[in-house]
């Protein structure tokens, strides 16, 4: 408790919004694309945006994407037993399937479960992560109720250069990755391959188990270590054809092998594959035309005692065309169209295995003196449930002296999954999309080396899908409200770089059943994260503190998960121009905590990494 309060006190004194940057608190010229589907400087976006760049990823010494995201503003993580185990991400209190995830602009995730395998996306292949909080269906369509997370794989420019690193650590941790990349303004390429392995921890801790206790699905304790392995490869390349045409393509594939506790399934082999290509034509300063296409494959083969019990595979094909037209200085019009097709292959005989969506969207961005304006409208036509129209509007006002006020409103929706619609004897094909409306307001101050931002929001979700006992099927019978605030600061004080955040969240189930008035599960009311780093010549030291309050694990609010705080310490030393050694101790005080009932989290762990990167 004392540690938790000390971390919260530090975060309150120096609340940080975690634009993790390299040598300065943040880069004012940093460009983001996720918030508007167009390049915009991070400090000019009207939406709350957080960017984690490659230098910050390396400096954090995080071992996975969920670990990198943990505790950040508006983000809650639930993990079922450590590295590689099922991990769900909540944003601003919305459901875990209300977060849209893109990899290099390609929509990813399972069309059957509605979830994204964050745990299988290899961190060594990632160049940066952009997090946009708040509804974005008016630009992206389904799923973007709580926000959007976009992962960008590595990009290589400059001279051709190789790189490699190796890590050892607790629980039999062995990791290695190697790659090469580079190029010129006319052409570039990159290739990386990686391997991860851990013996893991005992994933499920049930003192008196039952066949359905806490989601572990075990009738007797299984006190063994549950390991995880991941093999990944990433290929990228691009060409500039003259001064007006740019081509690029990328491929990412990650194959996981996961052991866990269970009486019905205890081992799975997973595949995450993302293929994408994009062509951009810029005939003048006033027009840019872009064409993109991609495919995401999300597959899982499941076993019990070495015997196959079935598989699920989703292919999501997508294509888009987008035109950005400069109407005048400071006024940009974006129009475009998206196409998405979901296809399911499985040993389970779904009533239907394919659907597609066509959409058209438009957006205006402009500045009028001290005022900034943004408005977007989108219409989706889904072959299964019909049509959905969403919109958003945002306004910003520069108050002078680095101060800015902003406000916005947006609607969003989430299409039902194949499990909810078509699973044999369970699906309900008459389901409607879940829908939401959100208000938000923000106040920010930018003084160059220090920036803070306060954002408040209120989201109402209608037609939430839940099991209807009257129909013995899922139905649109629930409603929910999420409201809260996020306070953050980026700062560089003397040689210290600080980044962190504080989030306050209030959720309420507004359905009409027994759970009306309850809090939504697995969302803490309070959370904070603090990152602190300082160089001393060739040595750099740092820490990360994460604190989260208590929450409930079930919709009935009968099972409470206690609050917790963890502290990680890290150091790195440049032993030569291309060589760096890193050391990290995670959960220094060996805190025992859970983010999902009955599922253990790692205690104190250590990691040692050797990096070779002559081009860095």
Question: Which pLDDT tens digit goes with each residue over 418-469?
Answer: 999 999 988 999 999 999 999 999 999 998 889 999 999 999 999 999 888 8
Residue among 151, 137, 254 nearest 193 (CA):
254
The mean-pLDDT minimum among 6-15, 84-93, 165-174, 498-507 falls in 6-15
Q: What is the pLDDT of residue 616?
A: 74
- The Cα 302–Cα 244 span in angstroms is 48
Residue 373, token pair as written in the block: 């304006």
Q: pLDDT-derived band of residue 8, with 50, 70 and 90 as boundaries?
A: very low
- Of residues 87 and 17, the one with the higher pLDDT is 87
pLDDT at residue 5 greater than cutoff 60: no
8-state DSSP, 120: G
Q: What is the pLDDT of residue 328?
A: 94
The three-class DSSP label of residue 422 is helix
Contact between 287 and 324 under an 8 Å Cβ cutoff? The reply is: yes
Average confidence (pLDDT) over 76-99: 95
Query: Cα 393 from chain centroid?
Result: 24
Query: Strand ranges (DSSP E) for 521-563?
Result: 526-536, 539-548, 551-552, 560-561
Residue 210 burial (CB count, 10 A) = 12
Per-residue pLDDT of 233-242, as tens digits, reads 999 999 999 8
Q: What is the pLDDT of residue 157?
A: 81
Q: What is the 3-state secondary structure (H, E, C) of 149-167?
A: EEEEECCCCCCCEEEEEEE
- The Cα 443–Cα 435 span in angstroms is 27
Structural domain total, the chain? 1
Q: What is 459-516 written as a DSSP string?
A: EEEEEEEEEETTTTEEEEEEEEEEEEEEEEEEEEETTEEEEEEEEEEEEEE--SSTTT
Q: Which residues of 64-95 are buried (b: 16+ CB within 10 A; e: fewer)?
A: bbbbbbbbbbbbbbbbbbbbbbbbbbbbbbbb
Residue 34, token pair as written in the block: 């996720």
Q: What is the pLDDT of residue 15?
A: 32
pTM of the model: 0.93
Q: pLDDT-derived band of residue 215, with 50, 70 and 90 as boundaries?
A: low
Q: Residue holding tokens 């090469």?
A: 180
Percent of residues, the chain, with pLDDT higher than 70 = 94
Q: What is the pLDDT of residue 223?
A: 85
- The Cα 41–Cα 30 span in angstroms is 5
- The Cα 106–Cα 112 span in angstroms is 18
Residue span of the structural domain in which 384 resides: 2-612
pLDDT at residue 24 greater than cutoff 80: no
For residue 67, give every residue at least 6 positions away whose Cβ sits within 8 Å of its Cβ, in sequence order, or none: none
pLDDT at residue 12 greater than cutoff 50: no
- Of residues 385 and 592, the one with the higher pLDDT is 592
Percent of residues, the chain, with pLDDT higher than 90 = 82
Q: pLDDT-derived band of residue 207, with 50, 70 and 90 as boundaries?
A: low
Average confidence (pLDDT) over 375-396: 94
8-state DSSP, 63: S
Q: What is the pLDDT of residue 218?
A: 80
pLDDT at residue 50 greater than cutoff 50: yes
Q: What is the pLDDT of residue 536?
A: 95
- The Cα 372–Cα 366 span in angstroms is 6
Q: What is the pLDDT of residue 205?
A: 80
The three-class DSSP label of residue 4 is helix
Distance between first and last Cα of the chain:
41
Q: Which residues of 552-580 are buried (b: 16+ CB within 10 A; e: fewer)?
A: bbbbebeeebebbbbbbebbbeeeeeeeb
Q: Residue holding tokens 């196959």?
A: 308
Environment class of residue 116 by beta-carbon count within 10 Å: exposed (0-12), middle (13-18) or buried (19+)?
A: buried
Contact between 10 and 22 under an 8 Å Cβ cutoff? The reply is: no
Contact between 232 and 122 under an 8 Å Cβ cutoff? The reply is: yes
Residue 241 burial (CB count, 10 A) = 12
8-state DSSP, 74: T
Average confidence (pLDDT) over 516-535: 95
Q: Which residues pair with 164 in a beta bridge?
A: 178, 612
Average confidence (pLDDT) over 71-89: 94
Q: Which residues of 250-289 are buried (b: 16+ CB within 10 A; e: fewer)?
A: bbbbbbbbbbbbbbeebbbbbbbbbbbbbbbeeeeeeebe
Residue 536, token pair as written in the block: 């001393």
Cα–Cα–Cα angle for 132, 134, 137, rounded to 5 degrees: 95
- Of residues 53 and 44, the one with the higher pLDDT is 53
- Summary count for the chain: helices (H), strands (E): 5, 33
Average confidence (pLDDT) over 69-87: 94
Q: What is the pLDDT of residue 467?
A: 85
Exposure on the CB side of residue 400, measured as CA atoms within 13 A: 0
Query: Cα 170 from chain centroid?
Result: 26
Average confidence (pLDDT) over 226-245: 95
Q: What is the pLDDT of residue 255?
A: 97
The mean-pLDDT minimum among 106-115, 150-159, 333-342, 574-583 falls in 150-159
pLDDT at residue 231 greater than cutoff 60: yes
Domain CATH number, residue 35: 2.40.170.20
pLDDT at residue 168 greater than cutoff 50: yes
Exposure on the CB side of residue 6, measured as CA atoms within 13 A: 7
Q: pLDDT-derived band of residue 29, with 50, 70 and 90 as boundaries?
A: low
Q: Where are the alpha helices (DSSP H) in 182-225?
A: none
- What sign does the CA torsion over 107, 35, 47, 487 have? positive
- The Cα 111–Cα 542 span in angstroms is 40
Average confidence (pLDDT) over 390-416: 96
pLDDT at residue 337 greater than cutoff 60: yes
Residue among 134, 139, 143 nearest 434 (CA):
143
């Amino acid at each position: 408790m004392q540690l938790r309060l000390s971390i919260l006190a530090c975060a309150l004194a120096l609340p940080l919004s975690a634009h993790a940057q390299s040598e300065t608190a943040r880069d004012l010229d940093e460009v983001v694309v996720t918030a508007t589907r167009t390049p915009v400087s991070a400090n000019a976006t009207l939406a709350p945006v957080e960017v984690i760049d490659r230098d910050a990823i390396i400096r954090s010494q995080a071992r996975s994407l969920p670990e990198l995201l943990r505790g950040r503003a508006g983000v809650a993580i639930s993990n079922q037993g450590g590295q590689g185990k099922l991990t769900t991400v909540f944003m601003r209190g919305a459901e875990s399937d209300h977060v849209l995830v893109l990899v290099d602009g390609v929509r990813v995730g399972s069309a059957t479960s509605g979830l994204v395998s964050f745990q299988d996306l290899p961190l060594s292949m990632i160049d940066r992560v952009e997090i946009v909080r708040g509804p974005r269906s008016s630009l992206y369509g389904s799923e973007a109720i709580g926000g959007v997370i976009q992962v960008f794989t590595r990009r290589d420019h400059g001279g051709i250069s190789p790189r490699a690193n190796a890590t050892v650590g607790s629980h039999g941790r062995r990791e290695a990755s190697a790659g090469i990349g580079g190029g010129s303004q006319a052409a570039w390429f990159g290739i990386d391959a990686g391997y991860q392995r851990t013996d893991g921890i005992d994933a499920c801790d049930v003192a008196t188990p039952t066949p359905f206790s806490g989601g572990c699905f075990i009738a007797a304790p299984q006190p063994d270590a549950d390991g995880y392995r991941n093999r990944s490869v990433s290929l990228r390349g691009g060409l500039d054809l003259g001064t007006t045409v740019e081509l690029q393509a990328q491929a990412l594939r990650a194959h996981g092998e996961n052991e866990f506790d269970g009486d019905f399934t205890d081992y799975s082999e997973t595949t995450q594959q993302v293929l994408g290509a994009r062509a951009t034509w810029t005939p003048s300063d006033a027009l840019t035309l872009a064409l993109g296409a991609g495919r995401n494959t999300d597959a899982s083969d499941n076993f019990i005692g070495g015997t196959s019990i079935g598989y699920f595979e989703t292919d999501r094909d997508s294509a888009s065309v987008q035109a950005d037209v400069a109407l005048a200085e400071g006024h940009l019009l974006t129009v475009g169209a998206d196409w998405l097709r979901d296809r399911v292959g499985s040993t389970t005989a779904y009533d239907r295995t394919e659907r597609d969506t066509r959409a058209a969207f438009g957006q205006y961005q402009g500045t009028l003196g001290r005022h900034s304006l943004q408005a977007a409208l989108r219409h989706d036509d889904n072959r299964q449930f019909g049509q959905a129209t969403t919109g958003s509007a945002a306004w910003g006002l520069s108050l002078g002296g680095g101060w800015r006020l902003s406000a916005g409103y947006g609607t969003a929706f989430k299409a039902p999954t194949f499990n909810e619609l078509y699973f044999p004897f369970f699906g309900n094909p008459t389901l409607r999309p879940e829908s939401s409306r959100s208000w938000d307001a923000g106040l920010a101050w930018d003084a160059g080396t220090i920036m803070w931002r306060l954002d408040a929001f209120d989201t109402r979700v209608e037609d939430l899908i839940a099991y209807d006992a009257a129909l013995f099927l899922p139905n649109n019978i629930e409603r929910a409200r999420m409201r809260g605030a996020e306070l953050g600061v980026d700062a560089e004080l003397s040689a210290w770089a600080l980044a962190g955040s504080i989030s306050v969240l209030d959720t309420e189930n507004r359905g009409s059943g027994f759970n009306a008035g309850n809090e939504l599960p697995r969302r803490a009311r309070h959370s904070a994260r603090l990152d602190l780093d300082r160089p001393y010549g060739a040595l750099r030291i740092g820490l990360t503190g994460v604190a989260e309050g208590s929450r409930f694990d079930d919709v009935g609010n009968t099972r409470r998960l206690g609050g917790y705080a963890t502290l990680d310490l890290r150091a790195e030393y440049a032993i030569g121009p291309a060589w760096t050694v890193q050391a990290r101790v995670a959960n220094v005080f060996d805190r025992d905590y859970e983010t999902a009932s009955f599922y253990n989290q790692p205690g104190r762990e250590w990691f040692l990494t050797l990096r070779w990167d002559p081009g860095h």
